[in-house]
Amino acid sequence: MKSAHRLLAAFFSLALFVAGGAVQAAEHGQAEEAAHGPTRLQLNQGKKWETDAPLRQSMAVMRASMAEKLGAVRKGKLTAEEYQALGDTINAEVGTIVAQCKLEPKADAMLHLVIADLLGAAEVMQGKHKGSQAVAARKALGALNKYGYYFDDPQWKTLK
């Protein structure tokens, strides 16, 4: 999985920093980004990244699902089945994004960082990985809000 590979790459970068000094870590980080894409979200020269209709539609579905349960998510009061349903929605919509979304390569690379967070959270909510479903739901909320901050989606409203 790409998300596991990115986590391993991030861990390796941290180990290099501690063991080999800041210069080696910086050089390795640049090599990793060149080989595997960016490791942190950033704006497109101060502007939000462009989006397309399939991306906006799928993100709106995920946002609506999370917004409907927002109060309960914030309080950690959903049932295991409700968390699983949210995870299922995220997983399905990410599949739609992957199949239909056509962004330019740099925007796509940025989107992959958001998707990695969404999928990681969804897998915990679905019970595929150990962890707190409540924490995972809050991670998904954070990822959705990052999308709104970094991507140009005129209809997007931050989840508060």
Block mean pLDDT (10 aa), the chain, length 160? 43 36 38 58 96 97 96 90 97 96 95 97 96 95 97 94
Residue 124 is predicted with a pLDDT of: 97
The one-letter amino acid at 145: N
The residues spanned by each domain of the chain are: 2-36, 53-150
Q: Which two tokens stand for residue 20?
A: 């080999």
Strand partners, 151: 49
Neighbouring C-beta atoms of residue 96, cutoff 10 Å: 14
Maximum alpha-carbon separation in the chain: 48
How many residues appear in the chain? Answer: 160
Compute the distance between CA of residue 21 and CA of residue 26 in angstroms, rounded to an integer: 9
Question: Phi and psi (nearest 5°) for 113?
Answer: -65, -40
pLDDT of residue 13: 39
Nearest-angstrom CA–CA distance, 157 and 56 = 12
Q: Which pLDDT belongs to residue 36?
A: 56
pLDDT at 37: 67
